[in-house]
Structure formats: C-alpha cells, structure tokens
Amino acid sequence: MAWDVVIAGGGFGGYYAARTLERVLPQHSARITLVNDVNFLLFTPLLPGAAAGTLEPRHVVVPLREQLDRTDLWLGHVSGAAPERNELIVDSLDGRRHELRYDQLIVALGSVSRTLPIPGLVEHAIGFKTLSEAIALRNRAISLLEIAETIGDAETRAEYLTYVFVGAGYAGLEGLAELQDFVSDVIDLYPRCRVQGMRFVLVEAKERVMPEVAPDLAAFAERELRGRGIEIRTNTTIEEVGERAVTLRGGEAIPTRTVVWTAGVKPHPVVAQLGLPLTDGGRIDVDETMRVRGRANVWAIGDAAAVPDPTRKGQPSPPTAQHAIRQGRRVARNVAAELGAGGAVRPFAYKTLGVFVDLGRHQAVASTMGIKWRGFPAWFLARTYHMANMPGTKRKLRLLVDWTVSLLFSRDTSELGQLGHPPELEHPRAEAADRAASPTT
C-alpha cells in the first residue's frame, strides 16, 4: 500500500519538500500531493524587480507543474484540518470541499503582512508581499503620474507624487529603492511632474534601517538612499492613514496617495484553523526536527512554523526563504525516515549564508559568510545569487534576458491594470433598445 504524503502550501518550503520527497522516496512507495492556492511558486526576492518593471511578472514565478515530476498538484484553498482523523480540508477553486487523507502532513502555508490597529491602515495602505500587490504598485505609479500631469495646482499634484513606505526591513527597502529607480527612469515623459519632482519617505519604528544586516552595511544603504533624495525617518511611527495623507506620531501630516505597508509578517491566519498547537507569535509549535508537538505525523516549516533556530538558542528561525528552503529539504528526509525509506529523523541545522539587499541602480549591500560587500560588486553578487537559486535553466535564462534588456532600453510606461478584467459583453436587449431609440438612415 502506498503512503499518502500531503504538503499544504507550495511556496519555498513546500516546493523544496516535494522535490526532495520525489528524490528520496522509492517510486510507488508514496503518493505525494501538494496543495496550493495558485499553480506557481512566487520567487519573492525578485518581487521588487517586477514592481519596478525590470522583470516580467511571469518571470518571477515558477510553475509548479513544470518543476515537479511525481507530485500531484492540487489547486485549492486549505481551510482547516481534522488531525485526529488525519484529514486536511481543502476547498477547490470551484467551491467543492474535499477531505484529503494523509499518513504524513507537512504544513508550509507561509505568512501574510502583519498589520497594526492604526486608523485607516487597512482601508488606504497597500502591502508588498504578493505578485498582485507588486504589479498594482507599478500600475499605480504610472496612473498617478498620468493624473498628476493633468493637475494644475502644484500642492494637490504633490499628493500624487509622494510615496510613503512604512517598515525598513529588506522587503521595504528594496521595494522603495526599485520603485524610485523606476519612477526616475520614466518621469522625463511627464514634463509637469519632472519639474515638480517626486518625494519618497521611508518610515521605521526602530532606530535603524535593516536590522537583518550589519550596522555598517545598513549605514551604507541609508547613505545611498539619502543620496538619492529619499527621506528616512527612523524612531518614527504612524498614527493615521487617510486617502490623501499619512499622519506621523507627533502630528506631522505627509500629503500622499500611496502608503506601502512593509512592517513585518505574521503566520497565515489559516494555520489557526488546523487544530495544531501555536506559539505566542501564532506560528505552529514544532520541535527541532520540525515535528508538530503532540502530533507524530504532522510537520510544519517556513514562515508558518516556529522552527527552533539552531544558531540562536530559544529563538524561532527568521522568516526567510533561505530557512524555508533548507527546512523543506530536511523535513522531506525526516518524513522519508519516518516511513522507513532510509536515514534518520534529524534536527534542522542551518546557518544563514548571507544577506543581499538590492538597492536598484546597480547598487546593493550584501554579507556572505562573514564577508561584507557594497556597491556594484554586491549588486552583481545579489543578481548572480538569485539567478543561481531560480529553479530550471529556462527560467534562469528568462531572468538574464529581462535584466539585459533593462540595461539597454528604457522602461515601459504602459499601464495594463485592465489585464485579466475584460469588459462584459453588452446584453442583446440593451443593443435592441439602442437601435429603437436612434433613427435609422
């Protein structure tokens, strides 16, 4: 009888778990099923490139069906679980409910943007975590330039030309840097806006930007961004977000139509519906082998799980793709060991190899195995690293082509927000009424 191994979530952790299981489990010994709500893996380190128009949106994702050979991809939304019956509850895209039975379950459902109870935040701010948010941001930047160009009053126009990013971790910093790079590339096409200029503000509650990297590298990144005219407000929080302004603590109001919220992540809310133990931070409580406490056949990895960090006693692993990938590979081997396919169940062991923060304009900061890099060499290293990690030769080549094209040509300013939203066909009755109303010739 073949075992049923089910993986919930096909991001970095889930995808690498499936790939490793395909390799380590003997043919026909197990059915591997991967449940995901989209049929691709989003390669998040390249999201700022998609927002800035240097990369085609389709080139920052990895189609799961192309990359997985022996895994059944099940497209649907995980909505709950019954661990006592070994069942995962999945709603398929057409709304049918399924109970997927498993012998071993790996939960890798990732995270969502962590919001705070700030008035107006949910209504007016945009996140920067999904492909739709990244593309919406790019489209919005172009629409706002188009609108601003039609406004005569400079004060009102300024609202449309100001961007406020909240949260100076690497996602916020890269997103802001790439977007500014994009806008400064295209602004020459908008004469009124060019004369007035753009304003970019980065707000951070902590005392410095990018707590993930060494202070001297963070200081380099800060100098680089300030040199481009980006205002950086550390030790600052926001009090309210409105349609036309954001108010900082202390009462200063910055007129803006765009607030981008990049102030951290929290586990996907559905993990609280799986009947599994959670830590105070809401991540799934697992031991060092990534087995869920009290559940012999359930494992959890990535941003959704509090996997003990082998290098920082008592702390969970940071929510990074580097960790999720290694946890995916290790958990697959642990599951294989549990099913008697060889090896032993081992704890997760990994030390961060490096951090790369792309600042656009051929600038970056990086720290790899104790060596610090900045400027062009860091930028080159960051791109090489991301390309090396992109699964599949075809996809690596696509990145290379996009990057080369963006070095040689200016960026495209078409605003294609209408893609995927076709107009409805006109109802025949309305057409007949129109004909009746207009005289025939």
The smaller minimum CB distance to ligand FAD, of residues 120 and 354, is found at: 354
Tell me: does residue 173 bind ligand FAD (CB under 6 A): no
Q: Residues near 223 by Cβ (< 8 Å), separated by ≥ 6?
A: none
Tell me: does residue 348 bind ligand FAD (CB under 6 A): no
Q: Are 391 and 384 in contact, with CB atoms under 8 Å apart?
A: no
Binding-site size for ligand FAD (CB under 6 A) equals: 31
The smaller minimum CB distance to ligand FAD, of residues 148 and 307, is found at: 307
Token digits for 406? 């963006």
Report, in Å, the least distance between residue 188 CB and ligand FAD.
28
Alpha-carbon distance of 102 to 34, in angstroms, equals 12
Cross-strand bridge partners of residue 162: 199
The smaller minimum CB distance to ligand FAD, of residues 131 and 158, is found at: 131
Report, in Å, the least distance between residue 338 CB and ligand FAD.
21
Going from the C-alpha of 186 to that of each of 5, 47, 153, the distances in angstroms are: 49, 19, 22
Report, in Å, the least distance between residue 79 CB and ligand FAD.
7
**The one segment of 102-110, 185-193, 250-258, 421-429 that binds ligand FAD by CB under 6 A:** 102-110
Q: Is the dihedral of CA 368, 372, 377, 383 positive or negative?
A: positive
Tell me: does residue 10 bind ligand FAD (CB under 6 A): yes
Tell me: does residue 178 bind ligand FAD (CB under 6 A): no
Buried b / exposed e over 391-423, threshold 16 CB at 10 Å, is beeebeebbeebeeebeeeeeebebeeeeeeee
Report, in Å, the least distance between residue 156 CB and ligand FAD.
31
Tell me: does residue 316 bind ligand FAD (CB under 6 A): no
**The one segment of 31-39, 176-184, 218-226, 341-349 that binds ligand FAD by CB under 6 A:** 31-39
Tell me: does residue 319 bind ligand FAD (CB under 6 A): yes
Residue labelled with tokens 């790369």: 356
Tell me: does residue 47 bind ligand FAD (CB under 6 A): yes
**What element of type H or E holds 372?**
strand 371-374
Q: Are 186 and 142 in contact, with CB atoms under 8 Å apart?
A: yes
The smaller minimum CB distance to ligand FAD, of residues 193 and 322, is found at: 322
Mutual angle of helices 170-186 and 131-149, in 10-degree steps: 40
- CA angle, residues 33, 352, 399, in degrees to nearest 5: 65
Tell me: does residue 108 bind ligand FAD (CB under 6 A): yes
The smaller minimum CB distance to ligand FAD, of residues 91 and 149, is found at: 91
Q: Are 160 and 146 in contact, with CB atoms under 8 Å apart?
A: no
Q: Are 283 and 112 in contact, with CB atoms under 8 Å apart?
A: no
**The one segment of 33-41, 117-125, 289-297, 390-398 that binds ligand FAD by CB under 6 A:** 33-41
Q: Would you give the binding string for ligand FAD spanning residues 118-157, x where CB under 6 A is met? A: ----------xx----------------------------
Amino acid at position 202, single letter: L
Report, in Å, the least distance between residue 137 CB and ligand FAD.
11
Alpha-carbon distance of 144 to 256, in angstroms, equals 11
**The one segment of 44-52, 138-146, 187-195, 329-337 that binds ligand FAD by CB under 6 A:** 44-52
Exactly one of 5, 11, 34, 163 binds ligand FAD (CB under 6 A); which one?
11
Quick one: which of 121, 115, 193, 117 has its CA closest to 160?
Answer: 193
What is the length of the chain?
Answer: 441
The smaller minimum CB distance to ligand FAD, of residues 278 and 321, is found at: 321
The smaller minimum CB distance to ligand FAD, of residues 44 and 86, is found at: 44
The smaller minimum CB distance to ligand FAD, of residues 104 and 322, is found at: 322
Mutual angle of helices 321-338 and 12-24, in 10-degree steps: 30
Exactly one of 24, 38, 136, 151 binds ligand FAD (CB under 6 A); which one?
38
**The one segment of 21-29, 314-322, 363-371, 419-427 that binds ligand FAD by CB under 6 A:** 314-322
Tell me: does residue 322 bind ligand FAD (CB under 6 A): yes
Other beta carbons within 10 Å of 35: 24
Report, in Å, the least distance between residue 64 CB and ligand FAD.
9
- CA angle, residues 368, 182, 118, in degrees to nearest 5: 80
Q: Are 15 and 67 in contact, with CB atoms under 8 Å apart?
A: yes
Token digits for 46? 């390249």
Tell me: does residue 36 bind ligand FAD (CB under 6 A): yes
- CA angle, residues 279, 330, 69, in degrees to nearest 5: 115
- Report the site for ligand FAD in 371-430 (rule: CB under 6 A): none
**Which residues lie near ligand FAD (CB under 6 A)?**
9-14, 35-38, 44-45, 47, 77-78, 108-110, 128-129, 171, 268, 270, 302-304, 319-322, 324
